[in-house]
Amino acid sequence: MTVSLKLYNTLTRQVEEFKPLNPPHVGMYTCGPTVHDFAHIGNLRTFIFEDLLQKVLEAEGYKVVRVMNLTDIEDKIIKKAKEKGVSLEEFTTPYELAFFEDLRKLNIKYADIYPKATEHIGGMVKYIEVLVKKGLAYVAEDGSVYFDISKFPEYGKLSQLDKREVKAGARVKADEYSKEDVQDFALWKSVDPGEVGYDSPWGRGRPGWHIECSVMSQQYLGETFDIHGGAVDLIFPHHENEIAQSEGKTGKQFSMFFVEGEHLLVNGQKMAKSLKNYFTLRDIEAKGFEPLALRYLALTAHYRDKLNFTWKSLQAAQNALNNLREEVRDWDQSKIGCAEYERRFFNAVDNDLNVPQALAILWELVKSDYPTSAKAESLLKFDKILGLKLDEYLGKPLEVPEEVQKLVDQREKVRKNKDFQKSDELRDEIKKMGYEMEDTPTGPKVKKVL
Ligand code: AMP
Ligand code: ZN
Protein backbone atom coordinates (compact mmCIF):
# COMPACT_ATOMS: atom_id res chain seq x y z
CA MET A 1 0.00 0.00 0.00
CA THR A 2 1.42 3.32 -1.00
CA VAL A 3 -1.16 5.92 0.11
CA SER A 4 -0.34 8.17 -2.79
CA LEU A 5 -3.59 8.29 -4.67
CA LYS A 6 -3.81 10.92 -7.36
CA LEU A 7 -7.15 12.05 -8.67
CA TYR A 8 -8.31 14.46 -11.32
CA ASN A 9 -10.17 17.34 -9.70
CA THR A 10 -12.66 19.17 -11.92
CA LEU A 11 -12.33 22.21 -9.64
CA THR A 12 -8.70 22.71 -10.68
CA ARG A 13 -8.70 20.71 -13.95
CA GLN A 14 -5.63 18.94 -12.65
CA VAL A 15 -4.57 15.59 -11.34
CA GLU A 16 -3.89 16.23 -7.66
CA GLU A 17 -2.64 14.24 -4.74
CA PHE A 18 -5.61 13.08 -2.69
CA LYS A 19 -5.38 13.91 1.01
CA PRO A 20 -8.54 13.57 3.10
CA LEU A 21 -9.53 16.25 5.59
CA ASN A 22 -9.70 13.83 8.55
CA PRO A 23 -7.63 10.76 7.76
CA PRO A 24 -8.27 7.87 7.81
CA HIS A 25 -11.86 8.97 7.17
CA VAL A 26 -13.08 9.95 3.72
CA GLY A 27 -16.47 11.54 3.18
CA MET A 28 -17.79 10.74 -0.27
CA TYR A 29 -21.07 11.92 -1.78
CA THR A 30 -22.27 10.71 -5.17
CA CYS A 31 -25.44 11.82 -6.88
CA GLY A 32 -27.80 8.89 -7.00
CA PRO A 33 -30.46 7.76 -9.41
CA THR A 34 -33.67 9.53 -10.25
CA VAL A 35 -36.02 6.63 -9.63
CA HIS A 36 -38.47 7.27 -12.46
CA ASP A 37 -37.46 4.17 -14.43
CA PHE A 38 -34.92 1.33 -14.44
CA ALA A 39 -31.33 2.57 -14.50
CA HIS A 40 -29.75 2.24 -17.95
CA ILE A 41 -26.28 0.77 -18.38
CA GLY A 42 -24.88 4.31 -18.85
CA ASN A 43 -26.04 5.20 -15.33
CA LEU A 44 -24.56 1.89 -14.21
CA ARG A 45 -21.20 2.70 -15.77
CA THR A 46 -21.07 5.74 -13.49
CA PHE A 47 -22.03 3.72 -10.43
CA ILE A 48 -19.33 1.14 -11.27
CA PHE A 49 -16.72 3.91 -11.59
CA GLU A 50 -17.72 5.34 -8.20
CA ASP A 51 -17.52 1.86 -6.70
CA LEU A 52 -14.00 1.45 -8.10
CA LEU A 53 -13.03 4.74 -6.50
CA GLN A 54 -14.41 3.60 -3.15
CA LYS A 55 -12.63 0.24 -3.42
CA VAL A 56 -9.31 1.95 -4.26
CA LEU A 57 -9.69 4.28 -1.27
CA GLU A 58 -10.42 1.30 0.96
CA ALA A 59 -7.44 -0.62 -0.41
CA GLU A 60 -5.36 2.41 0.60
CA GLY A 61 -6.58 1.94 4.15
CA TYR A 62 -9.10 4.78 4.23
CA LYS A 63 -12.45 4.41 5.97
CA VAL A 64 -14.99 5.68 3.50
CA VAL A 65 -18.36 7.06 4.55
CA ARG A 66 -20.41 7.01 1.41
CA VAL A 67 -23.70 8.84 0.93
CA MET A 68 -25.84 8.53 -2.18
CA ASN A 69 -29.17 10.27 -2.53
CA LEU A 70 -32.26 8.84 -4.13
CA THR A 71 -34.08 11.49 -6.14
CA ASP A 72 -37.68 10.46 -5.57
CA ILE A 73 -39.33 13.79 -6.35
CA GLU A 74 -38.55 15.69 -9.55
CA ASP A 75 -40.24 16.90 -12.74
CA LYS A 76 -40.22 13.55 -14.61
CA ILE A 77 -41.35 11.50 -11.61
CA ILE A 78 -44.28 13.80 -10.89
CA LYS A 79 -45.39 13.72 -14.51
CA LYS A 80 -45.19 9.93 -14.81
CA ALA A 81 -46.88 9.24 -11.45
CA LYS A 82 -49.71 11.54 -12.45
CA GLU A 83 -50.12 9.79 -15.81
CA LYS A 84 -50.31 6.45 -14.00
CA GLY A 85 -52.64 7.81 -11.34
CA VAL A 86 -50.50 6.62 -8.43
CA SER A 87 -48.73 8.33 -5.54
CA LEU A 88 -45.07 9.27 -5.89
CA GLU A 89 -44.08 6.55 -3.47
CA GLU A 90 -46.08 3.85 -5.24
CA PHE A 91 -44.48 4.93 -8.48
CA THR A 92 -40.85 5.11 -7.32
CA THR A 93 -40.63 2.09 -4.97
CA PRO A 94 -40.31 -0.63 -7.66
CA TYR A 95 -37.52 1.33 -9.39
CA GLU A 96 -35.76 1.88 -6.12
CA LEU A 97 -35.79 -1.88 -5.44
CA ALA A 98 -34.60 -2.56 -8.98
CA PHE A 99 -31.73 -0.12 -8.46
CA PHE A 100 -30.51 -2.03 -5.40
CA GLU A 101 -30.83 -5.29 -7.29
CA ASP A 102 -28.67 -3.87 -10.10
CA LEU A 103 -26.01 -2.81 -7.60
CA ARG A 104 -25.94 -6.27 -6.06
CA LYS A 105 -25.65 -7.97 -9.43
CA LEU A 106 -22.78 -5.69 -10.41
CA ASN A 107 -20.98 -6.34 -7.13
CA ILE A 108 -21.17 -2.65 -6.23
CA LYS A 109 -20.75 -2.01 -2.51
CA TYR A 110 -23.77 -0.34 -0.97
CA ALA A 111 -23.35 3.20 0.32
CA ASP A 112 -23.67 3.76 4.06
CA ILE A 113 -26.72 5.97 3.66
CA TYR A 114 -29.28 6.42 0.88
CA PRO A 115 -31.21 9.52 1.92
CA LYS A 116 -34.41 10.19 0.02
CA ALA A 117 -35.37 13.67 -1.09
CA THR A 118 -38.98 13.28 0.09
CA GLU A 119 -37.75 12.51 3.61
CA HIS A 120 -35.69 15.71 3.85
CA ILE A 121 -38.17 18.37 2.80
CA GLY A 122 -38.07 20.07 6.21
CA GLY A 123 -34.29 20.38 6.06
CA MET A 124 -34.51 21.83 2.56
CA VAL A 125 -37.03 24.47 3.63
CA LYS A 126 -34.75 25.53 6.52
CA TYR A 127 -31.74 25.65 4.21
CA ILE A 128 -33.57 27.81 1.70
CA GLU A 129 -34.70 30.14 4.49
CA VAL A 130 -31.04 30.75 5.37
CA LEU A 131 -30.22 31.52 1.74
CA VAL A 132 -33.10 34.00 1.59
CA LYS A 133 -31.99 35.62 4.86
CA LYS A 134 -28.47 35.97 3.54
CA GLY A 135 -29.75 37.72 0.45
CA LEU A 136 -28.57 34.93 -1.84
CA ALA A 137 -32.09 33.90 -2.78
CA TYR A 138 -35.34 35.75 -3.41
CA VAL A 139 -39.03 34.93 -3.50
CA ALA A 140 -40.76 35.44 -6.83
CA GLU A 141 -44.34 36.64 -7.30
CA ASP A 142 -45.73 33.11 -7.59
CA GLY A 143 -44.13 31.91 -4.32
CA SER A 144 -41.19 30.16 -5.96
CA VAL A 145 -37.76 30.83 -4.51
CA TYR A 146 -34.75 31.41 -6.78
CA PHE A 147 -31.03 31.47 -6.14
CA ASP A 148 -29.64 34.83 -7.26
CA ILE A 149 -26.47 33.87 -9.14
CA SER A 150 -25.30 37.49 -9.30
CA LYS A 151 -24.86 37.36 -5.49
CA PHE A 152 -22.41 34.49 -5.68
CA PRO A 153 -19.37 35.88 -7.50
CA GLU A 154 -17.76 32.48 -7.91
CA TYR A 155 -20.76 31.11 -9.84
CA GLY A 156 -19.43 29.11 -12.79
CA LYS A 157 -16.09 28.15 -11.25
CA LEU A 158 -16.62 24.42 -11.61
CA SER A 159 -17.95 24.41 -15.15
CA GLN A 160 -15.76 27.35 -16.18
CA LEU A 161 -18.66 29.29 -17.60
CA ASP A 162 -17.90 32.36 -19.58
CA LYS A 163 -19.23 35.07 -17.26
CA ARG A 164 -20.74 36.98 -20.21
CA GLU A 165 -23.28 34.20 -20.75
CA VAL A 166 -24.78 34.81 -17.32
CA LYS A 167 -28.24 36.32 -17.56
CA ALA A 168 -28.68 37.72 -14.06
CA GLY A 169 -32.31 38.18 -13.14
CA ALA A 170 -33.59 35.73 -15.75
CA ARG A 171 -34.99 32.57 -14.25
CA VAL A 172 -35.14 28.88 -14.96
CA LYS A 173 -37.61 26.70 -13.13
CA ALA A 174 -36.95 23.30 -14.76
CA ASP A 175 -34.77 20.77 -12.93
CA GLU A 176 -32.59 20.14 -15.95
CA TYR A 177 -31.33 22.75 -18.38
CA SER A 178 -28.40 23.45 -20.66
CA LYS A 179 -25.40 25.75 -20.52
CA GLU A 180 -27.37 28.24 -22.59
CA ASP A 181 -29.62 28.87 -19.58
CA VAL A 182 -27.18 30.38 -17.12
CA GLN A 183 -29.87 31.97 -15.01
CA ASP A 184 -31.23 32.19 -11.50
CA PHE A 185 -32.38 28.66 -10.68
CA ALA A 186 -35.31 27.42 -8.61
CA LEU A 187 -34.69 26.28 -5.05
CA TRP A 188 -38.39 25.98 -4.32
CA LYS A 189 -41.12 25.73 -6.94
CA SER A 190 -44.62 26.91 -6.28
CA VAL A 191 -47.29 24.40 -7.32
CA ASP A 192 -50.87 24.73 -8.41
CA PRO A 193 -53.64 23.41 -6.13
CA GLY A 194 -53.98 19.65 -6.51
CA GLU A 195 -50.34 19.19 -7.55
CA VAL A 196 -47.81 17.34 -5.39
CA GLY A 197 -46.52 19.84 -2.86
CA TYR A 198 -45.61 20.68 0.71
CA ASP A 199 -46.37 23.64 2.94
CA SER A 200 -43.62 26.21 3.30
CA PRO A 201 -43.15 29.84 4.42
CA TRP A 202 -43.66 30.75 0.74
CA GLY A 203 -46.85 28.75 0.24
CA ARG A 204 -47.34 25.27 -1.20
CA GLY A 205 -44.50 24.06 -3.33
CA ARG A 206 -41.79 21.53 -3.77
CA PRO A 207 -38.00 21.60 -3.80
CA GLY A 208 -35.91 21.90 -6.94
CA TRP A 209 -33.49 19.09 -7.74
CA HIS A 210 -30.22 20.86 -6.86
CA ILE A 211 -31.07 21.82 -3.29
CA GLU A 212 -31.60 18.21 -2.21
CA CYS A 213 -27.94 17.30 -2.78
CA SER A 214 -26.60 20.31 -0.83
CA VAL A 215 -28.90 19.55 2.08
CA MET A 216 -28.44 15.80 2.25
CA SER A 217 -24.67 15.74 1.62
CA GLN A 218 -24.01 18.31 4.34
CA GLN A 219 -26.45 16.75 6.78
CA TYR A 220 -24.57 13.45 6.69
CA LEU A 221 -21.00 14.48 5.83
CA GLY A 222 -20.63 17.97 7.27
CA GLU A 223 -20.25 21.38 5.64
CA THR A 224 -17.03 20.40 3.90
CA PHE A 225 -16.24 16.88 2.79
CA ASP A 226 -13.68 15.13 0.61
CA ILE A 227 -15.16 13.86 -2.64
CA HIS A 228 -18.23 14.64 -4.67
CA GLY A 229 -18.92 12.38 -7.64
CA GLY A 230 -21.24 11.80 -10.57
CA ALA A 231 -20.99 11.82 -14.35
CA VAL A 232 -19.85 14.74 -16.51
CA ASP A 233 -23.39 15.82 -17.43
CA LEU A 234 -23.82 16.85 -13.80
CA ILE A 235 -20.98 19.41 -13.84
CA PHE A 236 -23.44 21.99 -15.14
CA PRO A 237 -25.92 22.92 -13.87
CA HIS A 238 -26.25 20.42 -11.03
CA HIS A 239 -22.85 20.42 -9.29
CA GLU A 240 -22.32 24.09 -10.11
CA ASN A 241 -25.59 24.92 -8.35
CA GLU A 242 -24.77 22.70 -5.41
CA ILE A 243 -21.54 24.67 -4.91
CA ALA A 244 -23.39 27.99 -5.11
CA GLN A 245 -26.01 26.90 -2.54
CA SER A 246 -23.56 25.26 -0.14
CA GLU A 247 -20.67 27.70 -0.24
CA GLY A 248 -23.12 30.60 -0.33
CA LYS A 249 -24.66 29.29 2.89
CA THR A 250 -21.54 28.31 4.85
CA GLY A 251 -18.81 30.50 3.36
CA LYS A 252 -16.66 27.35 3.33
CA GLN A 253 -15.48 25.07 0.56
CA PHE A 254 -18.17 22.48 -0.19
CA SER A 255 -16.24 19.48 -1.53
CA MET A 256 -12.45 19.32 -1.85
CA PHE A 257 -12.63 17.15 -4.97
CA PHE A 258 -15.18 16.89 -7.75
CA VAL A 259 -14.71 13.71 -9.77
CA GLU A 260 -17.00 13.14 -12.73
CA GLY A 261 -16.92 10.11 -14.99
CA GLU A 262 -17.38 10.18 -18.75
CA HIS A 263 -20.42 8.83 -20.50
CA LEU A 264 -21.35 5.55 -22.02
CA LEU A 265 -22.22 6.14 -25.67
CA VAL A 266 -24.21 4.28 -28.29
CA ASN A 267 -23.25 4.93 -31.90
CA GLY A 268 -21.22 7.89 -30.71
CA GLN A 269 -24.13 9.51 -28.83
CA LYS A 270 -24.67 9.70 -25.06
CA MET A 271 -26.87 6.86 -23.85
CA ALA A 272 -29.98 8.59 -22.53
CA LYS A 273 -33.58 7.82 -21.79
CA SER A 274 -34.66 10.82 -23.83
CA LEU A 275 -32.81 9.55 -26.92
CA LYS A 276 -34.34 6.09 -26.53
CA ASN A 277 -30.93 4.56 -27.26
CA TYR A 278 -30.54 2.79 -23.96
CA PHE A 279 -30.39 -0.71 -22.53
CA THR A 280 -30.99 -1.81 -18.96
CA LEU A 281 -29.27 -4.58 -17.05
CA ARG A 282 -32.40 -6.65 -17.68
CA ASP A 283 -31.93 -6.19 -21.44
CA ILE A 284 -28.39 -7.49 -21.37
CA GLU A 285 -29.31 -10.40 -19.11
CA ALA A 286 -32.15 -11.29 -21.49
CA LYS A 287 -29.50 -11.72 -24.19
CA GLY A 288 -27.63 -14.18 -21.98
CA PHE A 289 -24.91 -11.87 -20.68
CA GLU A 290 -23.92 -11.73 -17.05
CA PRO A 291 -24.04 -8.40 -15.21
CA LEU A 292 -20.38 -8.93 -14.32
CA ALA A 293 -19.55 -8.86 -18.04
CA LEU A 294 -20.81 -5.27 -18.03
CA ARG A 295 -18.59 -4.57 -15.05
CA TYR A 296 -15.65 -6.08 -16.94
CA LEU A 297 -16.46 -3.93 -19.97
CA ALA A 298 -16.50 -0.81 -17.77
CA LEU A 299 -13.04 -1.75 -16.46
CA THR A 300 -11.60 -1.67 -19.97
CA ALA A 301 -12.01 2.11 -20.34
CA HIS A 302 -10.57 4.88 -18.18
CA TYR A 303 -13.34 6.67 -16.29
CA ARG A 304 -12.44 9.98 -17.97
CA ASP A 305 -12.74 8.47 -21.45
CA LYS A 306 -15.97 7.96 -23.30
CA LEU A 307 -16.90 4.33 -23.87
CA ASN A 308 -18.93 3.36 -26.90
CA PHE A 309 -21.21 0.42 -26.11
CA THR A 310 -21.65 -2.36 -28.68
CA TRP A 311 -22.97 -5.87 -28.25
CA LYS A 312 -19.70 -7.08 -29.75
CA SER A 313 -17.68 -5.37 -27.04
CA LEU A 314 -19.96 -6.81 -24.38
CA GLN A 315 -19.46 -10.28 -25.89
CA ALA A 316 -15.68 -9.71 -25.85
CA ALA A 317 -15.91 -8.70 -22.19
CA GLN A 318 -17.97 -11.79 -21.35
CA ASN A 319 -15.42 -14.00 -23.15
CA ALA A 320 -12.50 -12.36 -21.36
CA LEU A 321 -14.23 -12.87 -18.01
CA ASN A 322 -14.94 -16.51 -18.83
CA ASN A 323 -11.33 -17.05 -19.87
CA LEU A 324 -10.04 -15.42 -16.72
CA ARG A 325 -12.19 -17.72 -14.60
CA GLU A 326 -10.93 -20.77 -16.48
CA GLU A 327 -7.33 -19.68 -15.97
CA VAL A 328 -7.68 -19.61 -12.21
CA ARG A 329 -9.72 -22.73 -11.65
CA ASP A 330 -6.74 -24.97 -10.92
CA TRP A 331 -4.68 -22.49 -8.91
CA ASP A 332 -3.96 -22.95 -5.24
CA GLN A 333 -3.19 -20.19 -2.86
CA SER A 334 -0.27 -19.20 -0.67
CA LYS A 335 0.36 -16.23 1.54
CA ILE A 336 3.09 -14.76 -0.64
CA GLY A 337 2.09 -12.83 -3.73
CA CYS A 338 4.09 -11.39 -6.63
CA ALA A 339 5.43 -8.12 -5.21
CA GLU A 340 6.48 -6.67 -8.57
CA TYR A 341 3.03 -7.12 -10.10
CA GLU A 342 1.34 -5.77 -7.00
CA ARG A 343 3.53 -2.67 -7.10
CA ARG A 344 2.64 -2.08 -10.74
CA PHE A 345 -1.05 -2.76 -10.25
CA PHE A 346 -1.42 -0.34 -7.33
CA ASN A 347 0.67 2.29 -9.10
CA ALA A 348 -1.79 2.12 -11.99
CA VAL A 349 -4.94 2.43 -9.88
CA ASP A 350 -3.37 5.16 -7.74
CA ASN A 351 -2.66 7.15 -10.88
CA ASP A 352 -6.12 8.67 -11.30
CA LEU A 353 -7.69 5.19 -11.38
CA ASN A 354 -5.94 3.80 -14.41
CA VAL A 355 -8.04 0.65 -14.22
CA PRO A 356 -7.60 -0.44 -17.87
CA GLN A 357 -3.85 -0.55 -17.26
CA ALA A 358 -4.39 -2.39 -13.98
CA LEU A 359 -6.54 -4.95 -15.82
CA ALA A 360 -3.76 -5.46 -18.39
CA ILE A 361 -1.28 -6.01 -15.52
CA LEU A 362 -3.64 -8.60 -14.03
CA TRP A 363 -3.64 -10.48 -17.33
CA GLU A 364 0.16 -10.25 -17.52
CA LEU A 365 0.31 -11.80 -14.07
CA VAL A 366 -2.11 -14.57 -15.09
CA LYS A 367 0.04 -15.45 -18.11
CA SER A 368 3.36 -15.15 -16.23
CA ASP A 369 5.55 -18.05 -15.10
CA TYR A 370 5.13 -17.37 -11.40
CA PRO A 371 3.81 -20.31 -9.36
CA THR A 372 0.03 -20.26 -9.42
CA SER A 373 -0.05 -20.15 -5.62
CA ALA A 374 1.73 -16.78 -5.62
CA LYS A 375 -0.35 -15.52 -8.53
CA ALA A 376 -3.50 -16.43 -6.65
CA GLU A 377 -2.55 -14.33 -3.66
CA SER A 378 -1.97 -11.22 -5.83
CA LEU A 379 -5.01 -11.88 -7.99
CA LEU A 380 -7.31 -11.84 -4.98
CA LYS A 381 -5.83 -8.52 -3.86
CA PHE A 382 -6.44 -7.07 -7.31
CA ASP A 383 -9.98 -8.37 -7.40
CA LYS A 384 -10.83 -6.57 -4.16
CA ILE A 385 -10.70 -3.49 -6.37
CA LEU A 386 -11.89 -4.87 -9.71
CA GLY A 387 -14.81 -6.73 -8.12
CA LEU A 388 -15.08 -9.60 -10.61
CA LYS A 389 -15.76 -12.19 -7.87
CA LEU A 390 -12.85 -14.34 -9.00
CA ASP A 391 -12.71 -15.97 -5.55
CA GLU A 392 -15.76 -17.95 -6.63
CA TYR A 393 -13.65 -19.63 -9.33
CA LEU A 394 -10.13 -19.66 -7.95
CA GLY A 395 -9.05 -23.17 -7.06
CA LYS A 396 -12.47 -24.56 -7.87
CA PRO A 397 -12.33 -26.95 -10.81
CA LEU A 398 -15.31 -26.89 -13.11
CA GLU A 399 -17.91 -29.51 -12.32
CA VAL A 400 -18.57 -31.06 -15.70
CA PRO A 401 -21.92 -32.90 -16.00
CA GLU A 402 -21.61 -36.61 -16.53
CA GLU A 403 -23.14 -36.58 -20.04
CA VAL A 404 -20.64 -33.95 -21.15
CA GLN A 405 -17.71 -35.80 -19.59
CA LYS A 406 -18.74 -38.97 -21.45
CA LEU A 407 -18.62 -37.13 -24.77
CA VAL A 408 -15.25 -35.62 -23.87
CA ASP A 409 -13.82 -39.06 -23.10
CA GLN A 410 -15.31 -40.47 -26.28
CA ARG A 411 -13.78 -37.63 -28.28
CA GLU A 412 -10.37 -38.34 -26.75
CA LYS A 413 -10.64 -41.91 -27.94
CA VAL A 414 -11.62 -41.11 -31.53
CA ARG A 415 -8.97 -38.37 -31.70
CA LYS A 416 -6.27 -40.85 -30.68
CA ASN A 417 -7.49 -43.06 -33.54
CA LYS A 418 -7.20 -40.03 -35.84
CA ASP A 419 -10.91 -40.03 -36.69
CA PHE A 420 -11.00 -36.24 -36.97
CA GLN A 421 -14.42 -36.03 -38.54
CA LYS A 422 -16.04 -37.87 -35.63
CA SER A 423 -13.92 -35.82 -33.23
CA ASP A 424 -15.27 -32.59 -34.73
CA GLU A 425 -18.83 -33.87 -34.54
CA LEU A 426 -18.40 -34.65 -30.88
CA ARG A 427 -16.88 -31.22 -30.27
CA ASP A 428 -20.00 -29.65 -31.82
CA GLU A 429 -22.24 -31.78 -29.68
CA ILE A 430 -20.34 -30.76 -26.56
CA LYS A 431 -20.63 -27.13 -27.59
CA LYS A 432 -24.39 -27.47 -27.95
CA MET A 433 -24.45 -28.53 -24.31
CA GLY A 434 -22.68 -25.31 -23.37
CA TYR A 435 -19.11 -26.55 -23.08
CA GLU A 436 -15.96 -26.08 -25.08
CA MET A 437 -12.86 -28.18 -25.41
CA GLU A 438 -9.32 -27.00 -25.45
CA ASP A 439 -6.60 -29.54 -26.21
CA THR A 440 -3.66 -28.86 -23.91
CA PRO A 441 -0.38 -30.80 -23.50
CA THR A 442 -1.82 -32.32 -20.32
CA GLY A 443 -5.02 -33.45 -21.99
CA PRO A 444 -8.35 -31.88 -22.91
CA LYS A 445 -9.54 -28.96 -20.83
CA VAL A 446 -13.26 -28.35 -20.64
CA LYS A 447 -14.61 -24.81 -20.39
CA LYS A 448 -18.09 -23.45 -20.00
CA VAL A 449 -19.25 -21.20 -22.80
CA LEU A 450 -21.98 -18.64 -22.78
P1 AMP B 1 -30.07 9.89 -13.26
O2 AMP B 1 -30.76 8.65 -12.76
O3 AMP B 1 -30.57 10.35 -14.58
O4 AMP B 1 -30.11 10.99 -12.22
O5 AMP B 1 -28.56 9.51 -13.47
C6 AMP B 1 -27.80 8.79 -12.56
C7 AMP B 1 -26.31 8.95 -12.87
O8 AMP B 1 -26.00 8.47 -14.18
C9 AMP B 1 -25.84 10.42 -12.88
O10 AMP B 1 -24.57 10.49 -12.22
C11 AMP B 1 -25.72 10.74 -14.35
O12 AMP B 1 -24.79 11.76 -14.56
C13 AMP B 1 -25.24 9.42 -14.90
N14 AMP B 1 -25.45 9.22 -16.36
C15 AMP B 1 -26.51 9.55 -17.11
N16 AMP B 1 -26.34 9.19 -18.42
C17 AMP B 1 -25.13 8.59 -18.48
C18 AMP B 1 -24.37 7.96 -19.53
N19 AMP B 1 -24.82 7.87 -20.79
N20 AMP B 1 -23.15 7.44 -19.22
C21 AMP B 1 -22.68 7.50 -17.94
N22 AMP B 1 -23.34 8.07 -16.91
C23 AMP B 1 -24.56 8.60 -17.16
ZN1 ZN C 1 -26.83 15.57 -6.89
- Taking only the tens place, the pLDDT of each residue in 202-259 is 999 999 999 999 999 999 999 999 999 999 999 999 999 999 999 999 999 999 999 9
What are the b/e assignments for 25-58, b being 16+ CB within 10 Å?
ebbbbbbbbbbbbbbbbbbbbbbbbbbbbbbbbe
Residue 192 identity (one-letter amino acid): D
- Each domain of the chain, given as residue ranges in start order, spans 6-261, 266-392, 402-448
- Taking only the tens place, the pLDDT of each residue in 392-421 is 999 998 888 999 999 999 998 998 899 999
Mean pLDDT of the residues in the chain: 94
> Is position 242 annotated in a ligand binding site?
yes
- Give, using CA atoms, the residue closest to atom 12 of ligand 1: 231
Which ligand has its closest atom nearest to the C-alpha of 260?
Answer: 1
> Is position 384 annotated in a ligand binding site?
no
Looking from the CA of residue 39, the nearest atom of ligand 1 is 2
Q: DSSP class of residue 150?
A: G
Out of 3.30.470.10, 1.10.10.10, 1.20.120.640, 3.20.20.10, the CATH code matching 266-392 is 1.20.120.640
> Is position 213 annotated in a ligand binding site?
yes
Percent of all residues in the chain with a pLDDT value above 70, rounded to a whole number: 97
358-367 LR contacts (CB < 8 Å, sep 24+): 358/382, 358/385, 358/386, 359/299, 359/300, 359/386, 362/386, 363/324, 365/338, 365/341, 366/324, 366/327, 366/328
Can you give the pLDDT at residue 1? 47
Which ligand has its closest atom nearest to the C-alpha of 304?
Answer: 1
From 28, 41, 43, mutation site for ligand 1 pocket: most ligand atoms within 8 A of C-beta? 43
From 40, 46, 210, mutation site for ligand 1 pocket: most ligand atoms within 8 A of C-beta? 46
- Taking only the tens place, the pLDDT of each residue in 178-204 is 877 889 999 999 999 989 999 999 999
- Taking only the tens place, the pLDDT of each residue in 2-31 is 458 999 999 999 999 999 999 999 999 999
- Taking only the tens place, the pLDDT of each residue in 275-332 is 999 999 999 999 999 999 999 999 999 999 999 999 999 999 999 999 999 999 999 8
pTM equals 0.92
Tell whether domain 6-261 is in CATH 3.40.50.11310.
no
